[in-house]
Structure 1
Amino acid sequence: MDYGQRIAQLRKNANLTQAQLGEKLNVSAQAVSKWEHSQSEPDLTTIRNMCALFGISTDEFFEIEKQGEDADAKALTVSQDTYGVCVECGTLVTDDNLGQKSPKVMCSHCYTDYVNGMLQLEEEKANAKNAEKSGRESKKKRSIIFGVLAMAVVLAIGLAISIICTRGTTLVISIGITLFFAYGAYALVGELFLDMGEAAWNIIEFSLESPIKLPMLIFDLDGDSIIAFFILKIALSILGFIAGVALFLFGLLIGAIVSAFTFPFHMAKFNKLLKSND
């Protein structure tokens, strides 16, 4: 009994027409008819759904031992078609152990293992795809949460300074600049969490790695000179630290300006990647 006959037998046992079976499997009645006449084969996902519908396992579906024969009938020598040698195990394939005739001959045991392996591979691919999608969704959520926090901090500081230190037209301009950089902070943090802020990150990294060169100090070795040397050394170290912080903040400022213009495009690209996983 080949796979087409098995499908027909299972359908009839379930009292279903070809149209009814096709409707349950989201295929046409013509497709079911082709299966039953061995003119085409259902794909692996459809086989799995069909087995679930009939309440059997895939192993049972591919089991081709003839049922209903009594012991005397089994003892009879019956003329059988020979299809060749199984490409996997080298077993001679006949009607009793036929799993697949084309595109390559396989016995029922090897064909069942092959189908189960393909089903497992499909499941692993689906799990990997879901994991990738989940990771991207988590990145997007974190980018929004921390971006909003960064924007709130910049807004609070900028508006406080604007209200306290400016008046009139200058106040309006100051608030406008604050709003722009608040959005820039949101965009910068968002890009960094989406792993798409390469340009902004390069600017920040450059500001961190840029050396602050201090002048060399030459003193006499008397007591006052040594004291003055240490005082100036400490003062220059403090100035170097302040200059480094200022350079880092300047890098953040430039990064925010760049991100303000690139973030919408990067977010659109990221959303497109999310949709491609659906």
Structure 2
Amino acid sequence: AGADGCVAVGGGSAIGLGKAIALRTGLPLIAVPSTYSGSEMTPVWGLTEHGAKRTGRDPAVQPRSVVYDPELTLSLPVPLTVTSGVNALAHAVEALYAPDASPLVSLMAEEGVRAMTQALPLVAAAPDDLDARGRALYGAWLCGACLGATTMGLHHKLCHVLGGTFGLPHAETHTVVLPYALAYNAPAAPRAVTALSRALGGADDVPHALWALAGSLGAPRGLAELGLKETDLAVAAEQAAGQPYPNPREVTVDGVLALLTAAYQGREPSVDA
């Protein structure tokens, strides 16, 4: 086509397609996000082929410029607003206990969680509240930048398996899994939990607070609601535990299966010390 650049307008899937084009052609990418996925702030690309999702990092896919306009998010339905926002929270949560976390990234992650968790109830109550929509985009920017600067752990790997192999919807899967993955890692990540507690106004039980927030805003509670079958749990646990990646707590098949079983049923997450 003789194009000298690529502009991606939309959510994480649209920006992900733009990244795939940039990866294969070297064209510069400009992103105009209309959700809170945060993909626009990362050099991370993802391609799903033959029932498996591959991810990687390449500076060529990092958008050269990003345009944030809260007016573009006004028509985003509340259910998708909530799950997209919790998806963003997952980026910040994992950044807080990543092996390559830094003081600056940790400050950004804590502020991103604070901004997003304050904005989501306001947007849910008044979807046309431009200030709240802008606050949510601010949180998404911070959370996405944290994901771009650190290494992903159990939560993201698990969601990649559930999405790539079993076809579960991206934002909804992140929303369901996050409290359980955090409960699993909490005993091995006390500093991250302390930072999240501050961001959530002093919450005593951070995984439960995130679970309760998402549920109160109408988000799906269990993986069964998203179409996962009980027979898929063992397969997903094997896949997620079979990949080497950094995580604050050792990843075992039994541990991941217990996590997935709780997430499948949608019961309250509990921290196993």
TM-score of the superposition, structure 1-length normalised?
0.18
Instruction: Answer 1 or 2: which has greater strand percent.
Output: 2
> Which structure exhibits the higher relative contact order, with contacts defined as CA atoms closer than 8 Å and separated by 6 or more residues?
2
